[in-house]
Chains A and B, each alone.
Chain A
Amino acid sequence: MTIGKLRKNAWMTFVYILLLAGAAASLAPLYWLVRSSFMSLSQIFILPPKWIPSPFRWSNYTKAFSVVPFGRYYLNTALIVVGVVSGTVITSSLSAYAFARLCWRGRNVLFACLIASMMLPFAVTMIPLFVGWSRLGFANTYVPLILPAWFGGGAYNIFLLRQFYMTIPRELDESAFVDGAGYATIYRRILLPLTRPALIVVGMFSFMGCWNDFLGPLIYLSSSSLYTVSLGLRMFQGMYNAEWHLMMAASAVALMPVIVVFFIGQRYIIEGITLTGIKG
């Protein structure tokens, strides 16, 4: 008994050490970022390094904002995010409903195509899309970044929502059907309210994907007045590539909104991943 208990204690100690080490590895880079963002350049280069900045230099942030118009880039990015998130949530839930609940010819073929397209590297479609959008006169606008989200919102999201719809008992829509409700009503009155958490997950994912997107804005946006936060950060790097205290402050600026959104929605996000991960 006692040996068993001892072994168990040793095991749990090991588990906690592993978890704490993992947590430290996850957090330390972020801490290092924040720490460096409040230091002067000379403080950063002190050896051995200081863990806590003294004095705190808020001016790095003022400087970051004054060099690159991050305020404007926040707004630009927010504009894209609103377009993308609403498009994704609306159209992916519509499509997912069709895939999960309705019987129609070609359903399985189309679904298989969508799933297969997750394997397709973005690089394959990048150039034709780029050429296409440019010829249509939409280069240097937000259209190529937003419009595709209004066409299904990506295979991954459709798949995720479909899985969620499948877990809702069919009896619910069938009884509504008997009561004379049409497809649209069933979708709006029954499935949408019941799948709100899943919709939030999709919204969160597309928010983060969109906020973090680099290559898309990089190739489509050429006027700096249209830049997103990621591009702004990149521009900042170009101008201050060795002034680490400023770069860290600028990175922190780019990071804040996602962190805030994450903490608001983290419960849903993690549930959402759980949902897609295993049940494929």
Chain B
Amino acid sequence: MSEENSPNLSRRQFISGAAAVVASLTVAPGVFLLKPAGAASNADGKRWGLLIDTSKCADGCTACVTACHEENGVHSLGRPQTDAQWIRKVHLTDRATGHQQSLPVMCQHCEHPPCVDVCPTKASFVRPDGIVLVDKHTCIGCRYCMMACPYKARSFIHEPLTDQKPHAPRGKGTVESCTLCVHKVDRGDGTTACVEACNKDGHRAMTFGDLNDPDSEIARRLKEQGSTAIRADLRLNPAVRYQGI
């Protein structure tokens, strides 16, 4: 019991020791959290992205939304609070000027995606071509990625599903989001369902392409005309860019 007779000394020693240990335990993992910017993107390869010109995006038009959900078998189950939405039209009103516009928002396929950072099982991942996906076999349905996503891009499957498309597997209890029509990209279609629909309707507000190819239309327009990223302050370098906001 001798240790119990000198509480003051041991307490002081303890506090300084504890502080050092806590500090090193807390900081040490952080050292490995840092990685060189751009490490996630495949500099030699492609990085798929979208450019959305909001000035051409018609208010009330939801062609991109309908096409996406049809392509990927995302149906409403009549419960709007829990229904999945891979892409939605957002209506904006400038509080200062009253200026209004509308634009589609989906997974922004960040270079540094917070969903991938927080996923405990690596189910959320970035492909070398920049597409952010969820591995449906390792997603445990913890929804931490939904807490972390700044774009509210993800949906949790709240009930059993039927009529799934073979190229877009979905499952109750897992999280999902826009795949940038990865099946079409891998097939070599060179476009996505939302872009196709927007073009078909004649709006041509959306452009799909390789951000890393300086000769691609999307890369040229981004370079010449400039663009905005949603929540650019977070420096996630999303592959979905906007013009006109």
Bind each other: no
Residues of B near any A CB (own CB < 8 A):
none
